[in-house]
Structure 1
Amino acid sequence: MYRLASAALLLSLGACAARTPPIEVTRFNLGTPIERGSVAVRANDGQDQQSLAFRLYAGAVSDELGRVGYVPGQEETSLYLATVDVATGTRAALATRSPVSIGIGGGTGGFRGGGVGLGASFGLGGRPRDTVVTELRVQMTRRSDGTTVWEGRAQGEAQVGTDAADPDVAARRLAAALFSDFPGNNGETVSVR
């Protein structure tokens, strides 16, 4: 009986994981190696750097930067500044935001602050399910001259009430996807599970 219950639990967990859509990631870089060094993580203008939500994402981004060879630094003295922008809402609402690129990919307008909200998607049987879409954007600039050396966007969605919709889980999942295969191919959009 114990083995049967364990097998059923594993199958249900696997089914839940399979239903979590992949994260769409787009990155831009200069096509040259990015020197490793210190990086200070900061909030984009219009976002509260002291908020719990920002600190979750800043921590996840900082951890991933550490994994790819960067060390934490102070904003006044670090080699790089990593500007973090987070928005949560519906896919349609996030599509109206400015393009991901600020300095490298040719977008206009730069980062803008994000909104919060829930959208509805329709699953099997046509029953509406609340879905939250979260977008994480990070831009790395060389502090000394303000040159953007790397930037990226990761966008994922999760059904409200699932583990994947938990803010801490979402922050870690989006940051891990964004920095997978860092720096990534310039201008390429990939799906990361």
Structure 2
Amino acid sequence: MTSARPSRSFGFWAKILAAPLLVAGVAGCATPFKADVSRFQTQLPAPQGKTFAVVADDPAMQGGLEFELYADYVETEMAQLGYALAPAETADLLVSFDYGVDNGRERVRTVGTGFADPWGPWYGPGFYPRRSFYRGGGWGYGWYDPYFGGPEVRSYTIYTSGIDMKIENRATGERLFEGKAEAVSTSNRLQHLVPNLVDAMFTDFPGNSGETLRISIAPDDGDKTVKRLN
């Protein structure tokens, strides 16, 4: 893979950060990986006899060892569909690919005990997506009293990750496919996130144009469930 597509702006990650997303993996490693996948397409050519190459959407990433690792996952998925890998200079289709994860943000969760509190009502357990001064002690968003049953406050860091994939006709430049897979999790390890995001992107590929799916991938056996969001 020697060719690279023109660089994009950083608007992709701004859109990811602004989008309402689900939380994947908050409960631990046994929790299924969940991603929201949006795809748009015209008629992709039949795989038989068609070749493709995966290139970096950001030229600075092209040829990097990390990019090559993640590009291999995309190549494997395209090959399983029946397309043949070829050099970027001669391929029928160019598959541009981008990935990333943000720096994380703190999320605060309050857990009520169900007992009465003489200092006033607590309005149930829930997530409060804002920063808090609470850091592992008994004080934070509200007062936790083990005798009167106030809410316990817990904080943790969540990360937003995503991949962006486009497919073009190399000869004409016609855009044939656009897709995004996005997830929020307590992990920022791209080595774990990117393969799962690619797996979600290619679930029921190429999908219905304009449809957003919530895809859940079981951690042990790879079984998937798909929920249509629109």
Q: TM-score normalized by structure 1? A: 0.68
**Larger strand proportion of the pair:** 2
Gaps of 5+ in 2: 1-24, 112-152, 217-230
Letter in 2 for 1:119: R
Give me the whole-angstrom Cα distance separating, in 1, the residues matched to 2:73 and 2:162.
14
- How many residue pairs get aligned? The number is 148
Give me the whole-angstrom Cα distance separating, in 2, the residues matched to 1:73 and 1:88.
29
Root-mean-square deviation (Å): 2.2
Q: Deviations over 1:113-153 (max 9, x none)?
A: xxxx2222234644221222111000000111001111100
Show the counterpart of 1:185: 208
Letter in 2 for 1:129: Y
Alignment match of 1:138 (pick from 161, 165, 177): 165
Show the counterpart of 1:60: 73
- Check conservation: 2:182, 2:197, Cα contact below 8 A: yes
Give me the whole-angstrom Cα distance separating, in 1, the residues matched to 2:110 and 2:30.
15
Show the counterpart of 2:105: 119
**Larger helix proportion of the pair:** 1
Give me the whole-angstrom Cα distance separating, in 2, the residues matched to 1:60 and 1:157.
20
Shift of 1:168: 2.1
Gaps of 5+ in 1: 1-12, 90-116
Q: Secondary structure at the match of 2:74?
A: helix
Show the counterpart of 1:26: 38
Q: TM-score normalized by structure 2? A: 0.58
Q: Secondary structure at the match of 1:131?
A: strand
Sequence identity (%): 27
Q: Deviations over 1:57-105 (max 9, x none)?
A: 211111111222222111100010000111311xxxxxxxxxxxxxxxx
Letter in 2 for 1:140: I
Tell me which of the two structures has the higher relative contact order, counting C-alpha pairs closer than 8 angstroms and 6 or more residues apart: 1
Which one has the largest radius of gyration?
Answer: 2
